[in-house]
Each structure stands twice: as structure tokens, then as C-alpha cells.
Structure 1
Amino acid sequence: MKAGASRQDQRWETETVDQDRNDRRGQRRSVPGNSWRTLDTSAAGFHSRGTVVVVAVVVIVVVLIARLMQIQLVKGDSLSASAAEQRTSQVNLLASRGQILDRDGRELAYTMKASMIVAHPASLPTYMADRYRLDPRTEDNPDGALPPDEQLEEIITELPAMLDGDTEAVKEDDLREALTSEDTYRRLVTNVDPDIAEKITQRWPELVAEPQDIRQYPNGAVGANIIGKYGWVADGVEGGQYGLELSADAGLQGKDGSYTADFSNGVIIPGTVRDQHPAVDGNTYELTIDTDAQTFVQQQVQQAKEKSGAESASAVVLDAKTGEVIAMATSDTINPMGDLQQQVDQGKEFTNRAVESAFEPGSVAKVMTAAAAIEEGKTTPDEVLQVPGSIDLAGVTVKDAWDHGVVSYTTTGVFGKSSNVGTLMLAQRVGEEKFSEYLDRFGIGQATNLGLPAETAGYVPDLAQWSGGTFANLPIGQGMSMSLLQMTSIYQALANDGVRITPSLIRSETTADGTEIPQAEPEKTTVVSPATARTVVDMFRAINQDDPTGVQEGTAPGAGIEGYQTSGKTGTAQQIDPETKAYSNSNYWITYAGIAPADDPRFVVGIMLDNPQRSSDGSGGQSAAPLFHDIGSWLLDHYNVPLSATEAPRLILEAQ
């Protein structure tokens, strides 16, 4: 710049120099043949590029806004619901199964909380592989996962030790078979302490601890034929399997509850609990059973079966005035707390023969013929009948069990000696139609509806179906069948002034909140008058009467109980031969039913031995009378029943 130049000239020179520099730079970037390298530095070029950028940004924003609107306005509800579903769970609340108690409130069955360890074998390899990949076990990470094969072997070899006797033995072979199967669900072990189950699943997350209610039967086999058992009835489903556990399952099981909540990392989000339905525990059933009596009677029945060589033995004890079942025992009753399969292999049974099995009662049923004859005024206890050794009815000849000519038996003696011929002579006086009415009043052919499953109604032919020989069988206890409970109920009616009360087993049912559910009153049927009932009971004291000469002796003097008057009846009924389909001459049902004390009845005891080879005490003959003596003596002592005020009067069985 020249000295003295004006400011305007200086500015012009500067601008000229800058313009020349720019022109030269533009020329260098516009070398021929390299036009692709030319930059448009003009204002229009800059404007064009800015427009493109702005448009691109606007498009992106518009797309984002559209997507956002789609998510919020179109799919918002479904996505929100899906998200909520992923964090929302329904939690089930298990109801506790109700208790079963005896008449004094002692526990016969109750529920204990436990856990069972389960696995999903089909998905185990994948799960184990993922766990090993994400968290391998190293020296620095001793709690990490082993390779799948080693993980599996670790479970198989170490799980039994972790149980530490908390449950039944778990065999390695069983675990290996279960864990390597293709099943989607397998139970590995049940009845595990919840604390131990938690330790197991913490160590092996691939195993699952599920809550489990363990049914406890503190008395083992005692009363198991009545109480039954609770357990698996289908895959993943538990319920009553037999006995009262089955028949009262709906009341015992209660009602499961639930609630819904949102979870985050396995923890409930505060304030999200909703739709709450509390679990309602099952009802408590108090039975009429006396645990002490049930224990004793069950022991005696088992011993009688073994001593007599019988196929089985059963006994029922009823309260004479109320019809309540005090005890109901069968031999070879299974212990629900033991190894069931092993017990079945040993001959133990789930069944309750006292209500499920029907048999022909034999002479023990003659008491109905006696009651009908007395009630209808066809005879008196002291009437003397000339009883021949046999009798013909409609072409059927019936004999007594021993050969004899005409004998002068009193009506009392006919039954005290158990004469078939004398019984049918009296039945003829009653007549078929009237006799059929008495069978109905005594409940023959009718289930008692005691409340246990599989109860038999027994069988008696309708009057219209009777043939010529039917009336030659029914009055002496053949040609009909009944359960032991029904047979015992016949004698309960006579011990209760002629009123038969339907046997009952459940005293009360109470809900979890303490509300008692009313029980239906047992049905009452007047069978005979109080006077007739008293007369028949007194007549049947003859069965237990002894006599050194044998003339005035009944069929079961061994059933008598010292210090008490007793009344009862023996029975022997031919079984059906499975091959010939006719009555067998070697296989018998041996029965006994008795009342104690006879002068003021408290208990009625019914007994049945299936084809015994000896008496119930192992002695000669085939009699259940000794078992009645032992059970009756214990009951009278246990309940502090006063001795009879007087000895039973001597009865005349055979007129001299």
C-alpha cells in the first residue's frame, strides 16, 4: 500500500487482492479432466446443500413423529397391555386341607406344609448349557455352573445327601432315569422340609421347589379303613383316594385363593396387589370313632384272623342308643404312612370290608324271624314246639345242623339252640308277605349311607320274585346278603327299644371360621314295639347260657362276660363254591352279633370271619364268640359301665 493513499483506496486494493486470490484458487480446482473435484463455492451451492439437509431432517422427524403416533395412538393399548402382562403375575394361595378328628377331638388326619422337588427334564440340557456359558465355575467363581454333563451328575450324586433323611430314600438310579428322560415334568422327591428345599434350588436353579401339603396320619393303620388316604389321583392332581378322604373330599379340600400383582426382579411392586381372593381352608370333620376303641378292636380283629386261619376278619361296634359307630375294624388294614406297594405285596388292603363287602349272615339273622313272630303274636318265649329233625317247604327239605328226632324246644330254645327247623316253623306262622315287611323295616337290602365310598346295599329278593324255596332260606339267614354294618344295625334296633337308627359316622363338620354345618338327623325306623324288643333281647340271652349237662346250654356260652348280662346270636352261612356255583360244604362265613349289657344296652358288636379254620381264639370249632367276649369286656371296662344289677335268669331251652 502506498503511503498517503486514501482509506477508500486502501480498501479497494485489499478487495482486489482477495478477489485475485480466490480466482486463482478456483482455477486450480477446475483443472480440465478433473471436473468431479470441482466445488461449488457459490452462495447458490451452499443454499442447495442446506436445503437437502433440512429436507432430510424434516423427513426423519416426520417419520419419527408418525411412528410415535402409531405406537401411542394405534398400538399403545396393546403394547401397554403386553408390557403389563410381562410384569404381572397371578399368585395362587393354597388352601389347607381340613382335619379329621375322633369323638374326643384327637387328630386322625391333618395337613403339614412341605415341598416337593421337581424338574423339567426335556429342557434341562439347554438350561444347563446356557448357565455354564454365562456363569462357568472357576477357582475364582466356585459357585458357577459346571458343564451340563457334570451338572447332571452332581445333582444325581449329591441331592440324596442334601435331603439328609428328611424324606424317603432317593436312589441315584431313579434320579438319573428321571433327569435324562424326555418328560416335560417329573417329580423327583416329595415331602421335603421347605428350608431344605430352598437350599436345593439355590444350589441347582434348574430344579424347582413346589409347595406341597403332606397329609399326616398320626395313628398309622389305626382307622385307615375309615379315614382313607389323600394323595395323587392324577398327574399333578391330588385328592382323596379312598375312605372318608374320598367321600368328604369336597368339604376337606377347601378353596384355593389368589391375588394379582406386578413384579420387578421377582419382587412385588408396592401398591400393585389387586384382585385378592383369600384361600378358604377345608372343613374339619369330627367323627364318632373312639381312637382307643378303634385301636383295641383293630388289634383283636387282626389277632382273630391269624389265630382262626380266616381269610379275613371284621368287627363293628355301635352305640346301642344312638347308632354311632364307635369302632369299625378290618384285618390287614394298610398303613397310609408306609410303603404302600410293599404292604399290598404283603396282603394289606385299602378296602373297608365292614361296609363294602356283602355276605350271607346265616343264623345271626334269625333274630328278625324271632322279632316278627313275637311282634305278630304268633308265639311266646315259653311256648313249647315239637321240632322234628327236618322240614319241607315248597319241595325244599331243610335240616338242623345236627341230627335229632322230635325235640320239645321252647321258642327261646329254638333260637338258643339255633334250630333251622324250629325257626322255619315260626316263620310259616308269620307268613311270607309279613316277613318281607320286617326285612324292609330292619333295612335289609338298603345301604346305610354312612358317608363312606363303595358301600354295598346287600341283597334281598323282592317278594314278587320269591320262588318256592326262597322262604325256606331267608328266615334262617340264607338267600340274602348284607354288610357287617347292616347286620350290626339289626341288633341295634332291638337294643334300642325296637327303633332302628341309621348308623352315623360324622358327628360334626365345621368350617375354617368356626361355623358348624348342621348334620342331617339319622333316620329312625320303628321296627317292633319296645315290649317286643325287650322280649327278644331277653330271649337271646339263651345263646350265652351255659349248662354242664348241655341240655339248657346255648350255642355260645363263651361269649358271656362275667358280671354282665349279655345277649347275642351265632351264625354260620355256607359260601358259594366258585366252581360249582352251589353252596359249599367246606367254606363258611362265621358271624356273631351281641348286645352288652343285655339288661341296659350300651354297645352292639357285630363280627364276621371269612372261612376260618378254627375259632377266633384259635380253639376248636368255628366260632366268633370269643372275639365278642374280648371286645365286649374291654368296652364295658373302658367306659366304666356298671355291672348288671342281677344275674341273668336261667332260661328253659328244652322242655323236660
Structure 2
Amino acid sequence: MKLSKAGKVKKRGTKTFNLVSFAQRSIVVGIILSLVAFVALGKLAWIQLLDGQSTAEAAAKSRTVPRTLRAQRGKIVDTNGMVLAQSLERYTIAGSPKAAADFIPIKCTTQTKDYCHAIDGKPVGASGPAAVARLLAPVLGMNQMELGAQLTGTGSYVVLKKEVTPQVKRAIDKLNLAGVISAELSNQRSYPHGDLMGSLIGGVDTDGKGVAGIEYMENGLLTGKNGYEVYQQGRQGQQIPGTETKSKQPVNGKDVSLTIDGDVQWYVQKALADGKAKYQAGWAIAIVQEVGTGRLVAIADTENRPAGSAEAKMNPPLVVTQTFEPGSIGKTITLAGMLQEGVRSMDDKFTVPDHIKVDGQEYHDATHHSDEHWTMAGILQNSSNVGMVMASDKYSDQKRYDYLTKFGIGQPSGLGLQGESRGLLTTPQTWDRRTRNTVLFGQGYATNAIQLTNAVATIANNGVRNQQSLIKNVSDLNDKSDPEATGKPTRVVDEHVASQVMNGMESVAEKFKSVASVNGYRVASKTGTAEVAGQNGALTSIISDWVGVIPADNPRFVVTVVMKDPQGTYGGLTAGPVFAQIGEFLMQKYEVPPSVPRTDAIPVEW
């Protein structure tokens, strides 16, 4: 009996112990929970009362994103404002596969109508990339399956389509896919008249940076400065209205206006193409320059390449890269130098054979002839190499070199054109017995059409050499215009000397009036023909050129035409007619008054 009672007492003690243990554990848990609650309340109080602002700022920062506002590249226009290059508003559409995976269309109700998703008023019927593709594919004109595949993955950026128009971009905006689909402004470069001086205009790279031609030369002016804005975005990536914190508007690039007249450029290109075909030339180039200003009105060749094309980016204009011996056109520079130095006069008399030997070197005229009684003007008119050598006996080598450089031969044009060659003119100290005399009649040195044009323009401009220009001015959207800086005019020879050389050049033009005249207008010109290296390196090719001033009595334009290997060989018979065609167009377009009759011709014979 005692044992049984003892056993009961023991059992009751265990139960009491368990109750005490449970109470203790409950108290501990309660204390812990109280401490956690206390800490949480303390943290809440800290956040709300003391650290609320910094927490809110952190939350806002996590939602804040920057966006670049791209500047638009400036336009390139001709002297009349005709657009030659411009940036069109285009967009690159990109998607986020990561965001697309979580995309769930929002059903359209009265409350959600401004941001819901539907197709022709019906539910999308899918979620994730498939839903995005169903919404977006019809707007982009893409295959729904292919688009869905592009949007499948874990990446955050994939290009879906490039060069999208603003109309399509606005349609995408209405799909309420912000955060999944984005549009980036790309500014596609467009060339409305791509085949008009394409290599001269050049092109841009995929980033919109000028890499060739005017696009490269004036890239600093054409390129604008991007702006930016900083805002907060919602869960779907959409901009939260009124949350912009910082912004800077982009500054668009400046427009560049050329001195080139698009109408003249087009006509000159056509005249060259016709001339090349007619005379079966290897190529043809031409330049039109205003005498009084140095402005280039046309720069053309027959290697037409569309602006913006890979060919235009890789190949500068033939006009600036092609160098050649000018041939007898160089005699105008020699004549001007001799007159300026006073070693010769235009009416000096010579008996000129068709060949002569000097210092063991023999020189020939282009055609055989008996001894001729020519004045200095007659030597120029008949383009006599022999006569030039005879007349230059007192014209030193240094002076021969000095006047070539003063007229710009072998010197940079200052235009800044990419790929421009300065030609080749060595110093007198390197000349041999033959070269010292061949430079008198345009051989033994190389020039380009730009240099040659300005040399003759200097004579036509009363002996003053202007800095040639290709850029008329630059302007911004506020129509502020800044003329392009140009070099100061430089007097090379006296006005009287220039007038006498022009007189002689008129006599040259009269000799070719049957093939290269412009009805109603006096012309002063000089022809040239020179042997140049062919593909095999030997002197197997011919350069035929013509430089003419029109009108001769009131110089307005200088026109240079150069052909390689034309049938007909001589410049007066090939390049001359092309000059006449261009000259006639210029006189009509600019309504230049007809010339007065010539009455002061210097005698060419005695």
C-alpha cells in the first residue's frame, strides 16, 4: 500500500516538474518575442522618426534611372539650301528577355483602360514572351514566332529591329510594354541626292560619326551634344509622371552650307559623263570656281559613288587625289613670272624653230613647223615649248620655282579635304639640265585640278590669289550663321601683268573658237597636253586639260576640265568642248551680260 502511494507521489512530482519547465520555456519565448517586438518597434520608430528621409531616398534611388537624350546631327546643304545630307528620326527597338519572362497582360477594364493589354479588343491569351510577341509583332511587321524566340532567355537586352520610323515607335508606345520593350533614337543619316558629289560628301559610321568627305572634315560642327534626364520608373519600367529630378536638353549639331551649287554640280557631272563617253576617256574631272571670291561652285568627276556608301567612304574624290603634269597650261605661270620680273614683254619678238638644243638637251614643239615670227603673245597662243625655253634665258631657276609656289603649285589648297594630294614640286637645287626647262611648259612637276584652277583664277583676279573655299557658312537652329574662316588674299603679280597674260589667253581661245567657244562671250583660256605614267609605269598615258576664264572681259568663273587618254589627245579638241558646254550653262543660269567686243589684242606675229 505504501509502495503504491509512494509511486503515486512520484508520478505527481514529474507532472509538476513538466509544468514548471513548460512555464519557463514560455517565459523565455515570451521574452524573446518581446525583445524582437521591441527591436522591431525600435527600428520602426528609428525609420519613421529619425531615418525616414534616408530610407525614402534609398527607395527612390532604386527606382531612379537616367536616360540619354540624343542630339541630332546637323545637315549639309548646298549654297541654295538644297539638302545633301540630313539625319532622319529613326529608332532601334530593343527588348528585355528577363522582363518578358515575367510579363503578365493586364485585362482591360474601366479602371485599367489606360495601361491594359488587348489585341483587337480581346484578351491577349498568353503570358511571358509569347504575349509580348503577340502584341508587338504586328506593329513591327515581324513573324510572331521568331519575335517570341528572340525574347526568350535570361538576358536584359536584345535588339529586335533597327531603323524604325517615329510612327511605328508611337504605335509601340501605345502597347504599354514599358520595361519590356524600349526604343533608342538612332538618327539615320540620309542622302537625298546620293549620287551628287557622293565621295565629296562622304559618310558616317554606325555611331553617326563622320568618317569621310565633308562628313569627316566638318564632324566637329555637325556633331551635337547629347542631353539627359533622370526620372523614377514603375514596376513595368514606365516613367512615373512628375518624378524628373535632373535634365539637360541636347544641343543639335550645326548645319553646314557649302559653296557648291547643286544645279551646276549636276550639270557638270552630266557634261563630264557625256564627254567621257564621246572621247572614250579613262576618266574626266572638272572644277568651277568664282574668280572674285575663290568659292568652288562645282567639284566633279566621272567616278560617281553614292554618298554614304562604302565606296564613297573609302575613296576620296578623284579631283583631290589625282595629280598630273599640267602641260602647256603651266606656260601661263611662266609668262606671268617673266613679265613680273621684267625679263620679257608681251610684244618681244622671236624667231621660233620647231626644235632647239640647250645644254645638250633637245626640246620640240608639238607639231613640226618652219621658223615662225612670234611675239611673246604668239608663243603663248601657239603653245610653243621651244619659244618658252628661248624666252626664259634670263629667267633664273629660283624665280621659276618661286612663281610656281606663289601660284600654289605643290602647296596645300587649305580646303582640308580628306585625301587631297599637294602634288610634287622639287626645289631648283634638285633639277637636272632638262627639268629646269621642262618646268617652263608644265612638265617636271605634278599638280591637281584644284591647284591649277586657283593658279589661273589668280591671273583672272587681277593677280590676286584668293584662298579657295568650299564651306559657305555654318548655322544652328536659331539661324545664327558664322562664315567659314578663309585665308587673306595675296597679290602674286601686278594688275597690269595679269591683264597682259589674260590678253594672251584670249588669243589662245580665239584659236579654238571653232570647237570651244561660247556664243556671245569672250573667253580666255589655255590648253594642255602631257604624257603621264600608265598602268605599267611607263609614259604611255595622256592627260588633256583646258582651263578657261569666262567672260574674259569681266571674269566671273574659271572652269577646269581634265581628261585621261581621250581619243583626240589634245586638250583643246577634247577638254575644250566640254568647257564650252559648261561655260554656256553658267552664263545662262547666272544671267551674265554678254561681252563687249575685243579691241586690244596684243599682236601674236611680227
* TM surpasses 0.5: yes
Alpha-carbon distance in 1 for matches of 2:217, 2:156: 32
Question: Structure 2 matches for 1:241-390, cutoff 5 A?
Answer: 241-265=211-235, 266-269=237-240, 271-336=242-307, 340=309, 344=311, 350-390=315-355
The C-alpha deviation readout for 1:15-70, integer Å capped at 9, x for no partner, is: xxxxxxxxxxxx999675686545777xx889756643443234324554687799
Task: Output the amino acid matched with 1:635.
Answer: L
Q: For 1:144, what is the secondary structure of its paired residue? A: coil
Residue 507 of structure 2 is aligned to residue 507 of structure 1: no
The C-alpha deviation readout for 1:262-292, integer Å capped at 9, x for no partner, is: 2234444455423322211111222222221
Residue 523 of structure 2 is aligned to residue 566 of structure 1: yes
Distance 1:47 1:306, change over 3 A: same
Task: Identify the residue that residue 442 of structure 1 maps to in structure 2.
Answer: 407
Question: Structure 2 matches for 1:594-609, cutoff 5 A?
Answer: 594-609=548-563
Deviation of the 1:417 alpha carbon? 1.5
Question: Structure 2 matches for 1:122-201, cutoff 5 A?
Answer: 141-144=123-126, 189-199=161-171
Deviation of the 1:330 alpha carbon? 1.6
Distance 1:555 1:372, change over 3 A: farther
Cα contact 1:97–1:253 (8 A) shared by 2: yes
Distance 1:224 1:140, change over 3 A: closer
Question: Of 366, 370, 393, which residue of structure 2 is paired with 1:428?
Answer: 393
Alpha-carbon distance in 1 for matches of 2:395, 2:544: 27
Task: Output the amino acid matched with 1:609.
Answer: M
The C-alpha deviation readout for 1:553-608, integer Å capped at 9, x for no partner, is: x36742221211101111112112443x44x1x31121110000111111100111
Deviation of the 1:81 alpha carbon? 6.4
Residue 597 of structure 2 is aligned to residue 646 of structure 1: yes
Alpha-carbon distance in 2 for matches of 1:80, 1:271: 17
Cα contact 2:234–2:240 (8 A) shared by 1: yes
Task: Identify the residue that residue 10 of structure 1 maps to in structure 2.
Answer: none
Alpha-carbon distance in 2 for matches of 1:567, 1:596: 7
Alpha-carbon distance in 2 for matches of 1:573, 1:228: 31
Larger Rg: 1
Task: Output the amino acid matched with 1:304.
Answer: G
Alpha-carbon distance in 2 for matches of 1:48, 1:190: 72
Distance 1:398 1:564, change over 3 A: same
Alignment length (residue pairs) = 588
Deviation of the 1:256 alpha carbon? 1.0
Deviation of the 1:484 alpha carbon? 0.8
Alpha-carbon distance in 1 for matches of 2:335, 2:148: 69
The C-alpha deviation readout for 1:455-499, integer Å capped at 9, x for no partner, is: 222221123332333212211112212221111001110111000
Alpha-carbon distance in 2 for matches of 1:472, 1:560: 32
Question: Of 99, 113, 116, which residue of structure 1 is paired with 2:89?
Answer: 113
Cα contact 1:132–1:147 (8 A) shared by 2: no
Distance 1:147 1:216, change over 3 A: closer
Task: Output the amino acid matched with 1:98.
Answer: G
Structure 2 regions of 5+ residues with no counterpart?
A: 108-117
Deviation of the 1:377 alpha carbon? 2.2
Alpha-carbon distance in 1 for matches of 2:89, 2:337: 56
Cα contact 2:92–2:184 (8 A) shared by 1: yes
Cα contact 2:316–2:419 (8 A) shared by 1: no
Cα contact 1:334–1:349 (8 A) shared by 2: no
Deviation of the 1:413 alpha carbon? 1.9
Cα contact 2:340–2:497 (8 A) shared by 1: yes
Distance 1:423 1:28, change over 3 A: farther
Alpha-carbon distance in 2 for matches of 1:180, 1:591: 65
Task: Output the amino acid matched with 1:246.
Answer: Y
Alpha-carbon distance in 1 for matches of 2:70, 2:567: 52
Task: Identify the residue that residue 31 of structure 2 maps to in structure 1.
Answer: 55
Task: Identify the residue that residue 4 of structure 1 maps to in structure 2.
Answer: none
Q: For 2:298, what is the secondary structure of its paired residue? A: strand
Alpha-carbon distance in 1 for matches of 2:160, 2:26: 72
Residue 375 of structure 2 is aligned to residue 410 of structure 1: yes
Alpha-carbon distance in 2 for matches of 1:49, 1:275: 57
Q: For 2:209, what is the secondary structure of its paired residue? A: strand
Residue 184 of structure 2 is aligned to residue 210 of structure 1: yes
Task: Output the amino acid matched with 1:378.
Answer: V
Distance 1:355 1:40, change over 3 A: closer
Question: Of 431, 434, 443, which residue of structure 2 is paired with 1:466?
Answer: 431
Task: Output the amino acid matched with 2:227.
Answer: G
Task: Output the amino acid matched with 1:192.
Answer: V
Distance 1:90 1:118, change over 3 A: closer
Task: Identify the residue that residue 530 of structure 1 maps to in structure 2.
Answer: 495
Task: Output the amino acid matched with 1:217.
Answer: Y
Cα contact 2:469–2:486 (8 A) shared by 1: no
Alpha-carbon distance in 1 for matches of 2:294, 2:43: 80
Q: For 1:430, what is the secondary structure of its paired residue? A: coil
Task: Identify the residue that residue 228 of structure 1 maps to in structure 2.
Answer: 202
Task: Identify the residue that residue 478 of structure 1 maps to in structure 2.
Answer: 443
Deviation of the 1:354 alpha carbon? 1.9
